[in-house]
């Protein structure tokens, strides 16, 4: 089912300098425009961003011979050095990425290659190794941690390897509930292909509409249905990988004690060891029942305690999420309704899908009610579900209005949740105060485990000058606070380049030595995504 030639599936292109479908970009809702000056003070509207064709990019450093050699591997139509295509592969979708996309002069990879299959990927890596060219694997382009920056490392050029032609459902084992998907398949493509056979993957991160199966694996993604379906880590039963020095085909059985689970070494590797080309995942029948219910708790702490009880008692919601008072107040959980009313307390959304949905709803509701929650009917939960992928559109409108908006996330144990939340909020607040900016900080819990939960923060700030520089300082303080207070530097956004300087503190020097040893073994020239995950680790030499 792979595309045999050309650029692959007829896939909608994301807005080059913002989120999603360009036709769906919209202005700020009137209510928000009224609310913002109250929260953040007045901020100047930034200069209009340049059009794609007006951006200046340095010429490609690939030689004609490089381009010919790449074309010999991937096909003559599958190497692109045009400015527009290079710019579309110049980074991910963090707020700093989008702010950089507003500059008249921008960085970009020297070319974009579109390999058609696993063998072409492997050949690209071999060629890049021989010629001393760095390679950035590119799935849906939705990284928010700088994993797609066109960094050359010690090499003379850098190529973005767009995996969109590795698309399709390669195998379905309906009895075992297992599917093999090509790594470049997007979330919607995967669900359409599986749905036609009666199955669902059920992985719905906010990036779902554009992100790819390989990206979910490489970044250790977690979706909004994680309470029911697990993190993407837990869905993966096998992977195929091309590295500069050899292939891997890992994951033979649903459970194994045949040495360490090497699949887990590639989940979260973000392209620094090689390219994931196929992913085998657990799938389940498309759910028929779907029950929505929202709840209100007096405050975040009571709500968090209720979520803990639900997951520790195995009540079985498919989705369960809790907004803190600040997020509940502006109804950010329901993008469509933002600003309509300043709700009180802490809101919880629950969704139940699949087998025994009604029974699981009843068991969950009993626990939530006993823990101090009040059912608020179905409306808010349905609104959340309807707008669940639309948050990033709002960010673009905020940036257009000069309002800084970014998200970050971490996780910790239940007993440490309040401490970590307060530490992150203090770091954010103090950081923006130092930049002389008013800020509004919201938080939600959207991924729960028996032993703990994630914390996802959304920040709005009235940064009046140098938002990139100001945010870099704030974000650094937040990372320090996370590590000093028992959190992980990322629950599901991954490391990329933005978190890389903090990884050593999380996994220790010996942990860094392990990752470096694996990278040296598989990628001795250091061509794979240099600077991502492992910052400042000298691997490879120029050729």
| 514: contact with a copy of itself by CB under 8 A | yes
Structure tokens at 384: 């959340």
Shortest CA distance to 17 belongs to which of 142, 102, 83?
A: 102
Residue closer to a copy of itself, measured from CB, 136 or 455? 455
Residue closer to a copy of itself, measured from CB, 275 or 463? 275
Shortest reach from residue 39's CB to a copy of itself, in Å: 30
| 308: contact with a copy of itself by CB under 8 A | yes
Residue closer to a copy of itself, measured from CB, 98 or 453? 453
Residue closer to a copy of itself, measured from CB, 332 or 495? 495
- 161-190: which residues touch a copy of itself (CB under 8 A)? 173, 175-178
- 248-277: which residues touch a copy of itself (CB under 8 A)? 248-250, 252-262, 264-270
Give kind and range of the element (H or E) at residue 285: strand 284-285
Write the CB contacts of 293 (distance below 8 Å, at least 6 apart in sequence): 350, 352, 361, 365, 375, 377, 378, 381
Residues 413-432: x where in contact with a copy of itself by CB under 8 A, - otherwise, as a string: xxxx----------------
| 508: contact with a copy of itself by CB under 8 A | yes
526: left (phi > 0), else alpha (psi -120 to 50), else beta?
A: left
| 449: contact with a copy of itself by CB under 8 A | yes
Question: What whole-number distance in Å separates Cα of residue 372 and Cα of residue 362?
Answer: 16
Whether the Cβ atoms of residue 108 and residue 91 lie closer than 8 Å to each other: no
- Alpha carbons within 13 A on the beta-carbon side of 120: 25
| 122: contact with a copy of itself by CB under 8 A | no
Shortest reach from residue 403's CB to a copy of itself, in Å: 27
Shortest reach from residue 283's CB to a copy of itself, in Å: 9
Residue closer to a copy of itself, measured from CB, 76 or 450? 450
Residue written as tokens 């903090």? 502
| 535: contact with a copy of itself by CB under 8 A | no
Whether the Cβ atoms of residue 30 and residue 136 lie closer than 8 Å to each other: no
Among 203, 493, 497, 525, binds a copy of itself (CB under 8 A): 493
Among 212, 499, 529, 539, binds a copy of itself (CB under 8 A): 499
Residue closer to a copy of itself, measured from CB, 394 or 494? 494
| 316: contact with a copy of itself by CB under 8 A | yes
Q: Could you write out the DSSP letters of every residue in 142-185? A: --SSSTT----TTSSEEEEEE-TTS-SEEEEETTTTEEEEETT-
Shortest reach from residue 219's CB to a copy of itself, in Å: 6
Distance of CA 490 to the CA centre of its chain: 10
Whether the Cβ atoms of residue 149 and residue 197 lie closer than 8 Å to each other: no
| 385: contact with a copy of itself by CB under 8 A | no
| 63: contact with a copy of itself by CB under 8 A | no
Residue closer to a copy of itself, measured from CB, 14 or 357? 357
Residue closer to a copy of itself, measured from CB, 103 or 171? 171
Among 7, 155, 438, 447, binds a copy of itself (CB under 8 A): 447
Residue closer to a copy of itself, measured from CB, 358 or 468? 358
Question: What whole-number distance in Å separates Cα of residue 389 and Cα of residue 401?
Answer: 21
Q: Tell me the number of residues near a copy of itself by CB under 8 A.
A: 92
Write the CB contacts of 511 (distance below 8 Å, at least 6 apart in sequence): 504
- 82-111: which residues touch a copy of itself (CB under 8 A)? none
Do the strands 199-200 and 284-285 form a parallel or antiparallel pair, or are they unpaired? antiparallel
Stretch that binds a copy of itself, among 29-37, 86-94, 292-300, 490-498 (CB under 8 A): 490-498
Whether the Cβ atoms of residue 293 and residue 365 lie closer than 8 Å to each other: yes
Residue closer to a copy of itself, measured from CB, 411 or 528? 411
- 186-245: which residues touch a copy of itself (CB under 8 A)? 219-222, 231, 233, 237, 243, 245
Sign of the dihedral through C-alpha 13, 14, 20, 23: negative
Cβ-defined contacts of 448-452 (< 8 Å, 24+): 448/226, 448/227, 448/307, 448/308, 448/310, 448/311, 448/320, 449/311, 450/311, 450/312, 451/413, 451/414, 452/411, 452/412, 452/413, 452/414, 452/416, 452/417
Among 61, 100, 102, 282, binds a copy of itself (CB under 8 A): 282
Give kind and range of the element (H or E) at residue 191: helix 187-195
Among 128, 161, 217, 494, binds a copy of itself (CB under 8 A): 494
| 302: contact with a copy of itself by CB under 8 A | no
| 284: contact with a copy of itself by CB under 8 A | yes
Shortest reach from residue 523's CB to a copy of itself, in Å: 11
Stretch that binds a copy of itself, among 32-40, 111-119, 374-382, 519-527 (CB under 8 A): 519-527
E strands, 354-451, where? 374-375, 404-413, 439-445
| 464: contact with a copy of itself by CB under 8 A | no
Among 107, 477, 520, 543, binds a copy of itself (CB under 8 A): 520
Among 354, 526, 530, 540, binds a copy of itself (CB under 8 A): 354
- 17-56: which residues touch a copy of itself (CB under 8 A)? none
DSSP label of 23: G
Residue closer to a copy of itself, measured from CB, 428 or 522? 522
Query: Which whole-number Å values give the CA distances from 416 to 371, 411, 482, 493, 501, in the listed order?
Result: 19, 9, 11, 21, 24
């Amino acid at each position: 089912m792979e595309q045999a030639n050309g650029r692959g599936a007829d896939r909608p292109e994301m807005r080059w300098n913002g989120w999603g479908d360009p036709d769906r970009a919209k202005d700020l809702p009137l209510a928000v425009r009224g609310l913002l000056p109250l929260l953040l003070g007045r901020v100047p509207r930034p200069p209009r961003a340049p059009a794609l064709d007006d951006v200046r990019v340095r010429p490609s450093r690939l030689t004609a011979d490089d381009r010919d050699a790449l074309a010999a591997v991937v096909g003559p139509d599958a190497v692109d050095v045009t400015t527009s295509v290079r710019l579309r592969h110049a980074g991910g979708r963090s707020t700093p990425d989008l702010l950089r996309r507003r500059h008249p002069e921008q960085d970009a990879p020297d070319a974009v290659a579109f390999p058609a299959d696993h063998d072409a990927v492997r050949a690209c890596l071999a060629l890049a190794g021989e010629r001393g060219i760095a390679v950035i694997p590119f799935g849906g382009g939705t990284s928010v941690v700088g994993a797609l920056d066109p960094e050359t490392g010690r090499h003379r050029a850098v190529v973005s390897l767009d995996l969109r032609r590795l698309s399709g459902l390669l195998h379905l084992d309906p009895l075992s509930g297992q599917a093999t998907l090509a790594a470049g398949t997007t979330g919607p493509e995967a669900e359409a292909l599986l749905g036609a056979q009666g199955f669902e993957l059920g992985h719905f991160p906010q990036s779902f509409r554009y992100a790819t199966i390989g990206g979910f694996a490489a970044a250790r993604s977690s979706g909004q249905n994680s309470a029911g379906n697990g993190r993407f880590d837990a869905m993966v039963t096998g992977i195929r990988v091309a590295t500069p020095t050899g292939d891997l085909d890992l994951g033979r059985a649903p459970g194994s004690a045949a040495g360490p689970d090497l699949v887990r070494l590639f989940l979260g590797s973000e392209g620094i060891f090689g390219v994931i080309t196929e992913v085998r995942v657990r799938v389940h029948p498309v759910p028929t029942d779907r029950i929505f219910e929202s709840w209100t708790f007096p405050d975040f702490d009571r709500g968090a305690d209720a979520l803990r009880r639900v997951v520790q008692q195995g009540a079985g919601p498919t989705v369960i999420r809790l907004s803190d008072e600040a997020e509940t107040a502006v109804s950010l959980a329901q993008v469509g309704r933002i600003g309509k009313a300043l709700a009180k307390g802490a809101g919880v959304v629950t969704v139940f899908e699949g087998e025994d949905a009604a029974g699981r709803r009843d068991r969950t509701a009993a626990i939530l009610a006993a823990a101090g929650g009040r059912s608020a009917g179905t409306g808010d939960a349905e609104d959340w579900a309807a707008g669940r992928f639309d948050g990033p559109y709002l960010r673009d409108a905020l940036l257009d209005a000069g309002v800084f908006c970014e998200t970050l996330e971490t996780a910790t144990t239940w007993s440490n949740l309040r401490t970590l939340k307060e530490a992150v909020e203090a770091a954010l607040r103090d950081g923006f105060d130092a930049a002389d900016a008013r800020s509004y900080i919201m938080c939600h819990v959207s991924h729960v485990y028996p032993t703990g939960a994630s914390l996802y923060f959304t920040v709005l700030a009235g940064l009046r000058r140098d938002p990139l520089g100001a945010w870099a300082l704030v974000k650094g303080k937040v990372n320090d606070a996370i590590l000093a207070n028992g959190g992980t530097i990322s629950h599901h956004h991954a490391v990329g380049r933005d978190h890389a300087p903090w990884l050593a503190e999380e996994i220790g020097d010996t942990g860094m030595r392990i990752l470096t040893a694996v990278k040296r073994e598989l990628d001795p020239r250091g061509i794979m995504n240099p600077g991502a995950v492992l910052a400042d680790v000298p691997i490879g030499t120029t050729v």
